[in-house]
Structure 1
């Protein structure tokens, strides 16, 4: 490990933030060499400030970070090679199908018309009268059915009503969970609200917390998804984010709210 970086870790992110005003999340990212929440310009600028303020040699840290950013940019450029332009779909087959359908409809219509010419003409008034009679019959049948249903409902016994009232629908049970997901390396600081015990780590892919515990959370960057007690939350931000999870309720908070929960400290 770089000697200068070791000295900075010994000083601590909070003290460095108070002296240099570099955001605490970015300081944590540099101390733990997790650069996903930074860009190349920010990173080199912060390294220069730290070298100047603490009279340290962080050249090897700078070279490692620059290699990281340049490597990440190369991956993005390589990935773009595989973007392919989708060829336009040909509509020739569709036109052929439409033409065949039109031709078949024409033949069917012609054949039906030729057969109808041989049938006797039905009186139009007779058809209308039969339709009216059918409608009246359907309405009468509907009224009779409704009356029968009313009689059946009236005859329901008090015992049956009591049995119906005793049926209680079962509530759906949701399995408790607290999973954090990200495709980038991410520094996370998480604090137990009841005991103020602090933890931190760097991870990628998935990280789980106890859903039965109340948590105060700070992240190095905001490209992250949460799956909490059956609900999903998604964020996309270059800046670090902060959250509180209390009594099963999860929400993002500001730095000032974080400090109030954390007894006045940014970490």
Structure 2
């Protein structure tokens, strides 16, 4: 059955009641206003209509794809102009890089010459200071010989006592460090695992389903028509399903609406709530 015959045989209100698709979207499909419907949403609606009315609407899908194909060609023409602009930008960046390299080389050369001048002056000063130091060292040698003899005997006694005390303190510190290190690492691993579970949501469809998911923290919205399991990172979500034959895992909670009707779920701050039509998160 063609799309035109189908819409002649069934009214928009009747199709909306059986498929739960909004009358506005059905009018877009009937009037062939395809630019007002995203591709994922359009394909999902057609699959639902085919399933509920047991009809083949492949002709309308081909017509939709042909219109989208012409739009893609226009996008490729625009994208061909972009590489020439990028080449000009790269050329300007290359010139700026050369200027920076030359200026940095000049600065390094100036610093090198200044360092050489400073080194020559420092060498002159050190030669005069060395002669003065040598004279003072010779006078101090005789005095140091007498003091060293007295200090050696005293240091031998104190070193023995200090070595015994340090060995005791080192053994105590080593034992306390081992106990303190193992316990915090266990606690950190447990808290990290709990945070990872609470910061994600897993959707497991029991069959092909269309759904729209919005991350309330980032305001990012995505749409899917799939039967595969998907995991999304985040804490707070608003999800709208085409039907409720899905399983949702959030933290330690498992949500199973188990209905063929449209389902709206608000997941926020570790709790979930089913919303009615017209309610907003």
TM-score (norm 2): 0.36
More helix by share: 2
Higher RCO (C-alpha 8 Å, min separation 6): 1
TM (norm. structure 1) is 0.37
